[in-house]
Amino acid sequence: MPTLLAPLPPPSVPRMELPTVSFFGRTFEEYTRFFALDPAALRRLSVLDVAAGPSSFTAEAGRHGIDAVAVDPLYGHGHAPLAARVREDYRRMFAQMRAKRHLFRLKSFKSFAAAEADRRLAATRFLADFDGNARHGRYVRAELPALPFLDQSFSLVLCAHLLFTYADRFDYAWHLAACLELVRVSAGEVRIHPVCNAAGRTYAELPRLRADLAAQGIRSDIVPVAYEFFAGADSMLVLRRDRALRRAAAA
């Protein structure tokens, strides 16, 4: 009788390895694309960028007439440690991108080299702006789900590449608390991008999360954006208070 061979396991699909939350940033211009922002409409408004890392949104916002504040747990460090973290995390992230190009879509950049140059430009602008402005309150050391701001302090709150990108690092309770906190400090909208992880899979608990937010009077909408860098990252979650939902929850 012939020996039966065990079936081979399916080949593993390479994915981005994200053992820790990377200190990785994007430019103001890239923010406008994945958050569908109109800089002119934000003039004279206050914007909070949560988990900003070395993004240059806050550094560049001033020349557009936008009052921006950035938040990150690493902002308690000085220039040299942050520059060292940028070098290490960028080296690791770009090595993975070059090795796993099938995970990415070059819809917003002409090449991977152009995407890398843009992200390095963001870090350069951030580091140049950080030293002088950390003392002035533009860069605040803090992290979700507890932000050191009063209720409705900002016209718009942004959070990119944290909640759902690193979904496997945070449990459901953290995700719900983080969303509630983002809404608490916003006087208008919260925009969260993307709604999938780095493998392009939509957050598995998203229906439950949206239902629990609705029960607390918070409307949520998944809004397509004209942007996709890694596969599946072509939408954002928009949150806002909704009095009708709150009344329905209280009834």
Handedness of CA 43, 127, 36, 215 (dihedral sign): negative
Q: What percent of the chain has pLDDT over 90?
A: 72
Examine residue 137 and state whether it is found in any structural domain, yes or no. Answer: yes
Q: Is 93 within the bounds of a domain?
A: yes
Q: Is residue 156 part of a domain?
A: yes
Residue 145 lies in a domain: yes
d(CA 229, CA 198): 10
Position 21 in a domain: no
Residue 1 lies in a domain: no
Q: Where are the beta strands (DSSP E) in the chain?
A: 46-50, 67-72, 139-141, 154-160, 186-193, 218-224, 235-241
- pLDDT exceeds cutoff 70 at 11: no
Instruction: Give the DSSP H/E element, type plus range, for residue 164.
Output: none
Q: How far apart (Å, rounded) are the C-alpha atoms in residues 81 and 87?
A: 10
Residue 23 maps to a domain: no
Kindly report the backbone phi and psi dihedral angles of residue 79, in degrees, each rounded to the nearest multiple of 5, phi listed first. Answer: -60, -50
Which residues form the domain of 73?
A: 28-250
* From 6-20, 37-51, 175-189, 237-251, the region with the lowest mean pLDDT: 6-20
Residue 99 lies in a domain: yes
d(CA 152, CA 158): 14
Q: Which of 13-17, 31-35, 55-59, 144-148 has the weakest average pLDDT?
A: 13-17
Q: How confident is the model at residue 98 (pLDDT cuts 50, 70, 90)?
A: confident
Mean pLDDT of all residues in 159-186: 96
Q: For the chain, how many structural domains are there in total? A: 1
Name the one residue in this structure whose structure tokens are 């917003």. Answer: 108
pLDDT of 110? 82
Amino acid at 172: Y
> Regarding predicted confidence, which is higher, 197 or 191?
191
Contacts of 224 (CB under 8 A, 6+ apart): 234, 235
* Domain containing residue 123: CATH number: 3.40.50.150
Position 176 scores a pLDDT of 98
Question: At residue 227, does pLDDT exceed 60?
Answer: yes
State pLDDT tens for residues 114-138: 989 999 999 999 999 998 777 788 9
